[in-house]
């Protein structure tokens, strides 16, 4: 059995300058890490007067870097600059903006800014009078002509108690802009492909207020849809999960919300007609009540007779109707003999890949942010993806999808 190496996470240097808005950088850090980004925080000495380095070290992907001289590497700014896929500075003070524009490199952050060829995103924050000062505007104009991306401040309440323009953009805006820029520069190996992903557990009604379902959160399916969109695919997500999609993929994902297995079957049938790849990650209920009543059941009415019937086998149906060259990926959530049962399911369903998930394993399965799976191949291969984030699992599965899609195209 092979072991999949998770795709390299994009690397972002998060620079934090000394200003009252530095507290917002904590949320920027958290949002980027949650999106699967490797974040290295670089704090100026003044920044530590407003926020603690321990906070960033706990949330980020590696400890805070603060000085040109404390790092074991003799050239930390070069290591950070060359290794970054993007550098974001939030908040960017007037002082740091001026030093960057002038090419000064007297601290770790400014030296890193000069040592990188990655995109740079500056998020200014300062009082209105400073923001409107000609020297600040000239410096920003110069940096923008050099290709620096500026996320402008907002109008609102400022540290002095008054209001005006200069307030740091909200963390969700900054994180979305960073992810958008990463998406532009990331690999686009799914560009031109139409990918359909299903996610979540279906709800089969007993009455207007009760239903049969399972513990699926939809996190893994949503992670697959987001990863596919970021890798360039046009994605249709058929989901029963209420999870929100990150702003940077809103334009790349067509979302279809469903509730029952019948709803999902209908939506997937329509979406599958033009799909190049179908990833059936949803945990469709195996059974549903044979009869659903239109009014709420009550104890006063006695215990109702519950008769179940099987739901449609959506995956087998998709396999039976798929077009030549269409790649089909199934999921199997098991609690015992997972791989053995997975091989049988792969043969029975007629899919190309089957992602087997032992949901009884610690940290894996339903409602976790992590997962561990084994991907079975119709050719008889098995690839183990050890416990990691669901984002990393999604990218590892998509790596295998790409490999199989290329093999399929080369053989036709």
Catalytic residue positions, numbered: 214
**What is the b/e burial string over 17-29, where b = at least 16 CB atoms within 10 angstroms of the residue's CB?**
bbbbbbebbbbbb
Q: At what angle do helices 338-349 and 314-321 cross, to 10 degrees?
A: 40
Q: What is the DSSP string of 194-244?
A: EEEEEESB--EESSSS-EE--S--SHHHHHHHHHHHHTT-EEEEEE---PP
Residue 131 corresponds to which tokens in the numbers above?
A: 């923001």
Residue 297 corresponds to which tokens in the numbers above?
A: 């059941």
Q: Report the distance separating Cα 42 and Cα 83, nearest Å.
A: 14
3-state secondary structure of 322: coil
- Asked if 228 contacts 245 with a C-beta cutoff of 8 angstroms, the reply is no
H/E element, 86? strand 86-92
Q: Report the distance separating Cα 91 and Cα 166, nearest Å.
A: 11
- Burial category of 221 from C-beta neighbours within 10 Å (exposed 0-12, middle 13-18, buried 19 and up): buried
- Residues 6 or more apart whose CB falls under 8 angstroms from that of 251 comprise none
Q: Report the distance separating Cα 90 and Cα 29, nearest Å.
A: 10
């Amino acid at each position: 059995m092979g072991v999949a190496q998770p795709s390299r996470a994009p690397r972002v240097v998060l620079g934090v300058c000394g200003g009252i808005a530095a507290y917002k950088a904590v949320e920027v850090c958290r949002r980027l890490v949650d999106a699967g980004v490797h974040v290295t925080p670089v704090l100026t000495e003044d920044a530590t007067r407003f926020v603690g380095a321990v906070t960033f070290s706990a949330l980020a992907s590696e400890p805070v870097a603060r000085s040109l001289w404390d790092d074991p590497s003799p050239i930390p700014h070069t290591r950070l600059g060359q290794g970054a896929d993007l550098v974001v500075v939030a908040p960017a003070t007037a002082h740091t903006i001026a030093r960057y524009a002038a090419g000064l490199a007297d601290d770790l952050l400014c030296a890193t800014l000069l040592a990188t060829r990655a995109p740079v995103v500056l998020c200014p924050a300062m009082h209105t009078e400073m923001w409107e000062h000609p020297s600040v505007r000239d410096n920003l104009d110069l940096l923008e002509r050099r290709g620096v991306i500026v996320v402008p401040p907002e109008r609102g309440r400022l540290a002095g108690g008054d209001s005006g323009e200069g307030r740091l953009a909200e963390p969700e805006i900054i994180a979305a802009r960073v992810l958008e820029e990463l998406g532009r520069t990331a690999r686009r190996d799914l560009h031109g492909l139409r990918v359909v992903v299903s996610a979540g557990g279906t709800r089969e009604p007993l009455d207007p207020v009760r239903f049969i379902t399972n513990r699926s959160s939809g996190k893994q399916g949503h992670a697959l849809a987001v990863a596919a969109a970021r890798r360039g695919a046009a994605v249709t997500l058929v989901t029963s999960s209420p999870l929100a999609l990150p702003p940077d993929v809103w334009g790349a994902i067509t979302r279809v919300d469903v509730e029952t297995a019948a709803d999902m079957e209908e939506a997937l049938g329509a979406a599958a007609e033009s799909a190049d790849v179908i990833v059936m990650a949803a945990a469709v209920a195996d059974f549903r009540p044979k009869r659903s009543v239109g009014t709420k059941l009550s104890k006063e009415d006695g215990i109702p007779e519950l008769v179940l019937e099987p739901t449609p086998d959506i995956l087998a149906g998709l396999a039976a109707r798929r077009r030549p060259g269409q790649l089909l990926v199934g999921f199997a959530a098991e609690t015992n003999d997972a791989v053995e049962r997975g091989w049988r399911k792969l043969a029975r369903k007629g899919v190309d890949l089957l992602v087997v998930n032992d949901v009884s394993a610690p940290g894996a399965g339903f409602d976790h942010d992590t997962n561990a799976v084994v991907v079975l191949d119709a050719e008889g291969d098995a690839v183990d993806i050890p416990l990691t984030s669901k984002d990393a699992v999604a990218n590892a599965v998509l790596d295998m999808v790409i490999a199989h899609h290329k093999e399929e195209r080369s053989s036709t």
